[in-house]
Structure 1
Amino acid sequence: MSKSIQITLVVAAMALIGVAFVFVSPHVSEPTGEPLLDWRDDAVVARGATLYAEQCVSCHGFIDGPSKSNEVNKIGDAAPSHGADGHTWEHPDFALVQLTKTGEVAELCRDVSESDMPEFGQALSDREIVDVLTYIKSTWSEDIRMKHDEINLLYEGQNTAVRELLNLSGS
């Protein structure tokens, strides 16, 4: 087979793959389950805001505006901001829950075993942890939430599994 025929076949195959992707991708990119952090739920966001103020602000600072964590956290390195100047949105929901609850790090998270980050699994219920994280997500811009949702699509199986494992009834 000549070189030009091989190139033509490769180009044709790539075009067919591209056409197939156009028809399949809208269905693949839609989440199939309920979101773990449903930032549109006003009651959850309100509960989370209260808990954040009680449990998190002393280290992470207030979310609205520039990070205050350097001023607030006097112990060691400042905890990262959860606001627009932070990187919380770069982690899927299940990883944020895992980190907050147990201090264990999921894929792509920095190791917090040597930090002052407490394990909140004993102090807060699963419902309360999800409420706090939902509040945090509610403060992000639409653009950041969309990026976070795209990351969550890559981890939809893990997010669904964690949602099913958590005790989210009551507080």
Structure 2
Amino acid sequence: MPKVVTLATILSGLLAAGLGGMLYARDRSPAGLLRPDDKAIVAQGKIIYAEQCASCHGDNLEGQPNWREANEKGRLPAPPHDETGHTWHHADEVLFGVTKYGLAQIANMPDYQTDMPVFKDVLSDEEITAALSYIKSRWPAQIRQMHDQRNAMK
């Protein structure tokens, strides 16, 4: 029987690993690593998102149905990256780390199974930042502001 994994388990793993925004830091400004107001970066990110992310996370960042509940394989479906999901609850560096290295590595959960690929050998750091910047560019102003505050709490 597959182990049931919940969103709470994953989030507690992130917190236990001390990922309050201290890993993968490059920019300690309150605005963080992402550049959602840079039109060139966002345009590049839109292309990368369409090619690498949209097949699971949706063309409109809507994610997969029932993303908070483990599927028949015991894995969580792809969450939405729009304002209805939890992406904006995590500092830029955590989002970058999950994308580049995978949740299992950054949360020190080596047995965690996911359908999310690790992008360290697929995308450059700049491409990961661009894709994440595109995602953030789609959030409403209030959500972006709350995310900026999350980055400032590093």
TM-score (norm 1): 0.62
Specify the alignment match of 1:39 in structure 2.
36
Specify the alignment match of 1:83 in structure 2.
82
- Structure with larger RCO (C-alpha < 8 A, sep 6+): 2
* Aligned counterparts, 1:136-155, within 5 A: 136-155=135-154
Larger Rg: 1
Where structure 1 has 5 or more consecutive residues not aligned to the other structure, the ranges are 1-30, 156-171
* Structure 1 residues 101 and 154: alpha-carbon distance in aligned structure 2, compared to 1, 3 A threshold: same
Give CA-to-partner distance per residue, 1:26-74, whole Å, 9 cap, x none.
Answer: xxxxx7476310111000000000000000011111236xx25239xxx
Q: Does 1:124 align with 2:123?
A: yes
**Take 1:111 and 1:147, find their aligned partners in 2: how far apart are those partners?**
31
**Identity between Structure 1 and Structure 2 (%):** 42
* Structure 1 residues 57 and 111: alpha-carbon distance in aligned structure 2, compared to 1, 3 A threshold: farther
Specify the alignment match of 1:63 in structure 2.
60
* Structure 1 residues 111 and 85: alpha-carbon distance in aligned structure 2, compared to 1, 3 A threshold: farther
Q: Give aligned pairs, total.
A: 120
* Structure 1 residues 32 and 40: alpha-carbon distance in aligned structure 2, compared to 1, 3 A threshold: same
**Take 2:29 and 2:117, find their aligned partners in 1: how far apart are those partners?**
33
* Aligned counterparts, 1:14-29, within 5 A: none
Higher helix share: 1
* Aligned counterparts, 1:74-113, within 5 A: 77-103=76-102, 104-106=105-107, 113=112
User: How far has the Cα of 1:80 moved from its partner?
Assistant: 0.1
Q: Does 1:49 align with 2:46?
A: yes
User: How far has the Cα of 1:84 moved from its partner?
Assistant: 1.7
Give CA-to-partner distance per residue, 1:103-149, whole Å, 9 cap, x none.
Answer: 03359xx9993111110010101110000000000000000000000
Where structure 2 has 5 or more consecutive residues not aligned to the other structure, the ranges are 1-27, 67-72
* Structure 1 residues 78 and 32: alpha-carbon distance in aligned structure 2, compared to 1, 3 A threshold: closer
* Structure 1 residues 59 and 32: alpha-carbon distance in aligned structure 2, compared to 1, 3 A threshold: closer
What is the one-letter code of the residue matched to 1:69? Q
TM-score (norm 2): 0.68
